[in-house]
Structure 1
Amino acid sequence: MLNLADAHTAVSSLSGKRILVTGGTTGIGRAIAVLLASEGARLHVCGRTPEHLADSVGRISEVGTGAGTTVDLGEPGAAQRYVDAASEWLGGLDVAVINAAIPAEGLSDMSDSELRYAIAVDFTAYLTSAHAAVEAMGGAGGDIVLIGSMSAHVLGPGSTVYAGIKAGIAGFAEALRKELGPKNIRVTLIEPALTQADMHYPDMDAEKQKQMVREEKMLRSEDIAVAVHYALTQPRRAVVQKIVVAPRMSEGE
């Protein structure tokens, strides 16, 4: 019998973990929820439309256990209400994956109301969701995973608002990791590059996105789910601070 004791570190099981995913009804969030549920975690997700919620919860239930609710996280107090409801259904909270986001145009192409709503969903709700998650963990420790974007680093004239927000999320994640480490809460930032998602419509429809995946110029949502899974299954002594995932053919852009 080979002795493989030093060949691999012991990974953490996700079985029984109580996990919420904001924006867990489509794209990256849905893929994360499905994968983690298939590993034995209990999932609660939220999204803005009943149709997408039903689809996501249906798929989660095929591979594991889950539930969800519709909510607009851009509304004041919505993040706190959602985390409270999810934690109640889960019976506590071990992991919060904060992912819900909407696209944004360049600053001069947006109205004041569009700008404020994008900030509310893509930035304010990230912070308030994290705040509510820390409270829900109640001193028992856990994990917060923030889904950022390579847009924070790949800058262009049409990305002013989205890039600014995602750069803010990157800074928030780094500081939050240092703040919460002593409280036994790990904070991980996942920064995907171009990934299949509804938010790219109508500029890139489903067929165009599939073609780009085949050309390895776009990631599948499941690729990001695997990164989240990796971060969560490392031993508690280790925190995966940041993972950047990009399509092979866009490397260096």
Structure 2
Amino acid sequence: MTDRSDAHTATTPLAGRRVLVTGGTTGIGRAIAVLLASEGAKVFVCGRDAQHLDDALARIREVGEGDGITIDLAEEENVARLFEAATGYLGGLDIAVVNAARGAEGLTDMSEADLRYTIGSNFTAYLLSAQHAAKAMGAHGENATGQGDIVLIGSMSAYVLGKESTVYAGIKYGIQGFAIALRRELGKKGVRVSLVEPGLTGSDMVEGTSEEQAERIDKEEMLRAEDIAVGVHYLLTQPRRAVVQQVTISPRMQDEE
């Protein structure tokens, strides 16, 4: 057999790995869950809508193995409940994809209740999910040593600061800084932390009908959720010595002004 050791780096297989995807019932999260399940990972997903959960699980089970629950991660104690359910089903945790989020209006167009709920969903739940993931992967505590991957799904909104993006962009910019610091905190404890920042991607969080979004995808002005899933697949399959710190994936024709 030809020696190809200098032709390609070693890859980490996904088969048998135990994966939690928050917000894994629609859009980017669903695409990630389906792809990883198709590679032999055992996945657990969550979302807020029972119909979306059923649809996602039907597709996941066509290609692999998975389960999930409906839950609102903005509510107190629900992140802990999610991780208890996920690790119970999976028998542990190797990968956590922290993705669950909601859209937001401009700061002056939101009520205080909506603002607090959005922060709870898009920021507080991210930090709590990462904290619980680190604990489940054996990396919780000053001298702990574990192993695993935490993938935070951010957004190019952290850079593209429109006048109506005050809340959403502010949170995603915060997630960017959190990801950098968390990578340094957990790297020596055996856990890799990566940030994936998608550009405009077709989903129920984006304006336009499914037909209008499909037209924009055809024009390469918008990505499919599966495009982001491939990026996550790439970073998860790199050798353990390598951490892909940040991946920004944008449509070729996206207008960033």
TM value normalised by structure 2: 0.96
In structure 1, distance between residues paired with 2:231 and 2:168: 22
- Seen in structure 2, the aligned counterparts of structure 1 residues 13 and 223 have a Cα distance that, compared at 3 Å, is same
In structure 2, distance between residues paired with 1:191 and 1:88: 30
1:216 equivalent to 2:220? Answer: yes
1:199 equivalent to 2:205? Answer: yes
Question: What does residue 179 of structure 1 align with?
Answer: 185
Question: What does residue 39 of structure 2 align with?
Answer: 39
Question: What does residue 158 of structure 1 align with?
Answer: 164
What is the RMSD of the two structures over their aligned residues, measured on CA atoms?
1.0
In structure 1, distance between residues paired with 2:254 and 2:210: 20
Q: Which has the larger helix fraction?
A: 1
**Structural mapping, 1:68-217, within 5 Å:** 68-139=68-139, 140-200=146-206, 203-217=207-221
Structure 2's unaligned 5+ residue stretches are 140-145
Alignment identity in percent? 62
Q: Secondary structure at the match of 1:197?
A: coil
Q: Secondary structure at the match of 2:192?
A: strand
In structure 2, distance between residues paired with 1:151 and 1:251: 12
Deviation of the 1:138 alpha carbon: 2.1
Question: What does residue 239 of structure 1 align with?
Answer: 243
- The count of corresponding residues between Structure 1 and Structure 2 is 251
Q: Secondary structure at the match of 1:132?
A: helix
TM value normalised by structure 1: 0.97
The question of whether the paired residues in 2 share the 8 Å contact of 1:23 and 1:100 is answered with: yes
The question of whether the paired residues in 2 share the 8 Å contact of 1:84 and 1:132 is answered with: no
Letter in 2 for 1:217: E
Structure 1's unaligned 5+ residue stretches are none
Letter in 2 for 1:156: G
In structure 2, distance between residues paired with 1:174 and 1:6: 31
Q: Secondary structure at the match of 2:87?
A: helix
In structure 2, distance between residues paired with 1:27 and 1:156: 23
